[in-house]
Chains A and B, each alone.
Chain A
Amino acid sequence: MGLLSLAIWTPIFFGAVLLAFGRDEYAKTVRWVALIGALVSLLVTLPIYAGFDTASSTMQLVEKAPWIERFNVFYHLGVDGLSMWFVLLTAFITVIVVLAGWEVITDRVNQYMGAFLILSGLMVGVFTAVDGMLFYVFFEATLIPMYLIIGIWGGPNKIYAAFKFFLYTLLGSLLMLIALIYLYTQSGGSFDLATWHKLPLAASAQTFLFFAFFAAFAVKVPMWPVHTWLPDVHVEAPTGGSAVLAAIMLKLGAYGFLRFSLPIAPDAAREFAWLMIALSLVAVIYVGLVAMVQEDMKKLVAYSSVAHMGFVSLGFFIFNDIGVSGALVQMIAHGFVSAAMFLSIGVLYDRMHSREIASYGGVVNTMPKFAAFALLFAMANCGLPGTAGFVGEWMVILGAIKFNFWIGLAAASALIFGAAYTLWMVKRVYLGPVANDHVKELTDINAREFLVMALLAIAVLAMGLYPKPFTDVMDASVADLLKHVALSKLPQ
């Protein structure tokens, strides 16, 4: 079994074991098995990084076996510079989520942990699939565990949120399914991504494909105006669910743009770049403003996710290497930062059972250690230099200025909004005098929570101070992708 298969199936195996044998009577064992499973899954991804050749832009660690012969579908895996880091990010976030749910989840622990482990394996599958149908299967399969996670362990309005999540994303991906089948017929019976990348397509076909993919990926990212599911879902999802959703599931959509929309329909991508840029700018600016007026912390962070993902889609569609690399870096950084933000809110919620900003105030007085971490993550969220949040945004803005000064300026202005809504929330929640008796009784984070926070803080700082390992991996693949996108695929 290859490394990538191990990275996919190890967590799924542990998840299945938990589902089959776990009971609430021995929840403690279940938690430890889950943690071991998550750690082993993380360990098996490390050789992927170690063995990765940064100079090459081709698929590495390729595994290929026939899967559904009638449709010429292959179990075909591989990583390149675009996807490599997400495999590690997924495994890392899963460890964090297992730790974060340790004492908080007491009901059906085995199903909770099992769902996250299986979800983790499926998401690694999405990032490593190089066969269109395999990608789709993994992409869609992630909906099932997430639907259950939101619906079982979510907040008061969880059922609405679970349905909205499932149906909204299913709508988009069903259109993508038709696009995949169309490509299959056009390419003479192949689901191979590399074949599709080379396939010449007429302008009308490219437009159709571009928008079919757009339906799937824009909903997932989410881009304005199809972002409305995200705040509702984040608010109701359990902390771990929100963290995984923001940190990784949103990236599945953005990653899809790079793997499908840009290389398969490059002419359409160039033609509709203005639209994508416009939507991204709306997300960055308008949604940033929307975030500012939120009363609910989770909603605020959810809107801030939409705004941050706006940078990602902006970076993709300005077609220069610093923009695309920046967008990729932003995706990883946002993975760390948004997970950290949601987990911070989770720490507060576990104690106070409220997400309203108004119920807090002066938390720093009672929870100094926690407040220090929270402040660091907030700074990363508004893109302070030295934190992970800065690098990606800065690169995308540079790329945007190279592309068009005014677009760059508009994107840069968003940094101000980002700082405004994040810092304002920090001020109202953490700073100032102790607001009420509930805050007075808060206890600071325990060793487990400290560990979770510390791991994320290290990641955020490391990436902010030394982003080279991240960009090095991407450079060759990004250059190759841009070269490919620049060429017309219209039949001569």
Chain B
Amino acid sequence: MFEKLSIAAVYPEVLLAVMAIVIALVDLFVKSPRRTLTYALSMITIGVVAYLEACAASQGQTVYSFGNMVVSDPMGSWLKCFAALAVMVTLVYGRPYAADRDMLRGGEMFTLGLFALLGMFVMISGNNFLVLYLGLELLTLSSYALVALRRDNATASEAAMKYFVLGALASGFLLYGLSMLYGATGSLDISTVFKAVASGQIKHQVLVLGLVFVVCGLAFKFGVVPFHMWIPDVYQGAPTVVTLMIGGAPKLAAFAMTIRLLVEGLLPLAVDWQQMLMVLSIGSLLIGNLAAVAQTNLKRMLAFSTISQMGFVLIGLLSGVVNGNTAAAANAYSSSMFYVITYVLTTLATFGIILLLAREGFESEEITDLAGLNQRSPLYAGVMAVCMFSLAGVPPLVGFYAKLSVLQSLIASGQSGAIALAVFAVMMSLIGAFYYLRVVKVMYFDAPITATTVSAGSDVRVVLTINGALILILGMLPGGLMALCARAIVSTLGT
């Protein structure tokens, strides 16, 4: 039993947990308002963790440890690596913003950020219902606190309250669903659950009832219709840096958790959950896109845009199994994985620009605040334009290939109505193009309302430029990342 406790597989998690506590302690002795020391420590920690995960991922092995409670496989390692990088970039973009708003005092932002990352890691590598749930709770509890970090700010507090109440409800849903599955299958271990469900000896109705609650809980985490209500309010109300913390990396974790629960655990029920995902996806595409058109607040618009983008992710997830045949599954799930990763990449740059334009006492969260950005700073306008065109799915930007691969897996599945759903999805993305283009229009066609120059620290400038360039470069050479996703999913499903 002791050999099974191979702690090596969870070194990064351990490191994160230790450093989160160390940083909380060290911060007590840091006086600088910009928290340079703890910031540096956090960045080093996350950097090391990302490196460890990248090493683990490139070895391509699947290791179960702690008595099958956690798994370390290439899919998980890559997602953890990207999540760590995303949090790192978030901190780079967010530090000036947070420092201006007195959010760094006390150093909670770094500690909570690391704990949130740890939560994501656990969600990604959990191989057991309870471990997954634990990871999820660690992530969401840290997120609630992060949203409320500006405790003297009314909108932020309101957002935190909404997020907490709805989030707790969703966690309850998920837990309830998991407990029903536990009752039906007699196990919390995902591989055992899979075997039990696949044996076909368990009453289908019980399983589906549990499944409904699980899907509801996951849908809440993704923020898809009709569990999307919290997204706009929290995106808008939270301090922008926290919005990015919630809207970026955790999507990767939500994707991994969906794969663990629905695919690794409940694949035999695919016919049932694919139908549920289809309803969620259609709703998200419709409501996300239509509601985004009406927004004047940039963060709120991006919130609705997220909802619609997640609708696309679900399209990939629902195309995996056709008539019980799982031949197309790897293709479908890897297209979703590619979609999520590129979405996070684009979201980082988008919010990076918003954070950059925000100054002391000025949030820069209305779309009109971007007016004439091209005249003020062609570079940042260019980065933002690249993001918008990418989100709209225009080639040669990476967002196009994400949509392409998801639609390809949908059409290749050959399910009845696949083409109809594909046509619906592209029509909705046409509506989406309208509001993304409007942002470009404001930046390029309108006259600036302020002549303030846009200034940024060299770290933000460099990272933001690389981030924008990556969206373009991956748009011209998407093959590598696609192959990476495909390999990761294949090795995960293969076990």
Binding site for B on A (CB under 8 A): 19, 66-71, 108, 111, 133, 136-137, 140-141, 143-144, 147-148, 151-152, 158-159, 162-163, 166-167, 170-171, 174-175, 177-178, 181-182, 184-185
- Interface flag for B229 (CB, 8 Å): no
Instruction: Give A171 to B389 CA distance when docked, in angstroms.
Output: 15
By the criterion CB–CB under 8 Å, are B434 and A167 in contact? yes
Instruction: Give A108 to B443 CA distance when docked, in angstroms.
Output: 14
Instruction: Give A162 to B479 CA distance when docked, in angstroms.
Output: 32
Interface centre among A19, A70, A151, A152 (most CB of B within 10 A): A70
Q: B485 CB to closest chain A CB, in angstroms?
A: 9
By the criterion CB–CB under 8 Å, are A178 and B419 in contact? yes
Q: B199 CB to closest chain A CB, in angstroms?
A: 34
Q: Which residue of A lies closest to B438 (CB)?
A: A163
Q: Which residue of A lies closest to B338 (CB)?
A: A70
By the criterion CB–CB under 8 Å, are B479 and A67 in contact? yes
Tell me whether A70 and B479 are in contact in the complex, defined as CB-CB below 8 angstroms, given that A141-B395, A181-B411 are known contacts. yes
Instruction: Give A152 to B407 CA distance when docked, in angstroms.
Output: 33
Within 8 A of A (CB), among B408-457: 408, 411-412, 414, 419, 422-423, 426-427, 429-430, 433-434, 437, 440-441, 444-445
Collect the chain B residues with CB atoms within 8 Å of residue A133's CB.
Answer: 404
Q: Is the interface of B mostly helix, strand, loop or mixed?
A: helix
Q: B425 CB to closest chain A CB, in angstroms?
A: 9
Q: Which residue of B lies closest to A69 (CB)?
A: B479
Tell me whether A177 and B411 are in contact in the complex, defined as CB-CB below 8 angstroms, given that A140-B395, A141-B395, A152-B444 are known contacts. no
Collect the chain A residues with CB atoms within 8 Å of residue B422's CB.
Answer: 178, 181
By the criterion CB–CB under 8 Å, are A140 and B444 in contact? no
Q: A169 CB to closest chain B CB, in angstroms?
A: 11
Instruction: Give A374 to B478 CA distance when docked, in angstroms.
Output: 48
By the criterion CB–CB under 8 Å, are B412 and A111 in contact? no
By the criterion CB–CB under 8 Å, are A141 and B408 in contact? no
27 example contacts (A-B, Cβ-Cβ < 8 A) are as follows: A67-B477, A67-B479, A68-B401, A68-B479, A71-B405, A71-B408, A71-B482, A108-B374, A133-B404, A137-B396, A140-B400, A143-B394, A151-B444, A152-B444, A163-B437, A167-B434, A170-B430, A174-B427, A174-B429, A175-B423, A178-B407, A178-B411, A181-B407, A181-B408, A185-B408, A185-B411, A185-B414
Q: Which of these, A140, A174, A177, A185, contacts B412 with CB under 8 Å?
A: A185
Q: Which of these, B404, B430, B445, B479, contacts A181 with CB under 8 Å?
A: B404
Collect the chain A residues with CB atoms within 8 Å of residue B483's CB.
Answer: 69-70
Q: A152 CB to closest chain B CB, in angstroms?
A: 6
- Interface flag for B486 (CB, 8 Å): yes
Contact with A along B465-494 (1 / 0, CB 8 A): 000000000000111001100100000000
Contact with A along B373-386 (1 / 0, CB 8 A): 01100100010000
Tell me whether A166 and B433 are in contact in the complex, defined as CB-CB below 8 angstroms, given that A151-B441, A152-B445 are known contacts. yes
Q: Is the interface of A mostly helix, strand, loop or mixed?
A: helix
Collect the chain B residues with CB atoms within 8 Å of residue A162's CB.
Answer: 441, 445
Q: B494 CB to closest chain A CB, in angstroms?
A: 17
Tell me whether A174 and B396 are in contact in the complex, defined as CB-CB below 8 angstroms, given that A111-B378, A159-B445, A182-B419 are known contacts. no
Instruction: Give A473 to B476 CA distance when docked, in angstroms.
Output: 32
Interface residues on B, range: 35 or more
Collect the chain B residues with CB atoms within 8 Å of residue A141's CB.
Answer: 394-396
Interface centre among A67, A147, A174 (most CB of B within 10 A): A174
By the criterion CB–CB under 8 Å, are B441 and A163 in contact? yes
Q: B322 CB to closest chain A CB, in angstroms?
A: 12
By the criterion CB–CB under 8 Å, are A174 and B395 in contact? no
Collect the chain A residues with CB atoms within 8 Å of residue B401's CB.
Answer: 68
Instruction: Give A152 to B389 CA distance when docked, in angstroms.
Output: 17
Q: Which residue of B lies closest to A171 (CB)?
A: B430
18 further interface pairs, Cβ-Cβ under 8 Å (given A111-B378, A181-B422, A185-B414): A19-B378, A66-B479, A68-B479, A69-B479, A133-B404, A137-B395, A140-B395, A141-B395, A141-B396, A148-B444, A151-B440, A151-B445, A162-B441, A166-B433, A181-B408, A182-B411, A185-B411, A185-B412
Q: A133 CB to closest chain B CB, in angstroms?
A: 8
Collect the chain B residues with CB atoms within 8 Å of residue A158's CB.
Answer: 445
Q: Which of these, B400, B411, B479, B486, contacts A137 with CB under 8 Å?
A: B400
Q: A128 CB to closest chain B CB, in angstroms?
A: 15
By the criterion CB–CB under 8 Å, are B437 and A147 in contact? yes
By the criterion CB–CB under 8 Å, are B433 and A170 in contact? yes
Collect the chain A residues with CB atoms within 8 Å of residue B375's CB.
Answer: 108
Collect the chain B residues with CB atoms within 8 Å of residue A70's CB.
Answer: 405, 479, 482-483, 486
Instruction: Give A137 to B401 CA distance when docked, in angstroms.
Output: 10
Q: A65 CB to closest chain B CB, in angstroms?
A: 11
Q: Which residue of A lies closest to B379 (CB)?
A: A20
By the criterion CB–CB under 8 Å, are A136 and B441 in contact? no
Q: Which of these, A66, A108, A159, A174, contacts B430 with CB under 8 Å?
A: A174
By the criterion CB–CB under 8 Å, are B400 and A175 in contact? no
Q: Which residue of B lies closest to A208 (CB)?
A: B419
Collect the chain B residues with CB atoms within 8 Å of residue A178's CB.
Answer: 407, 411, 419, 422-423, 426
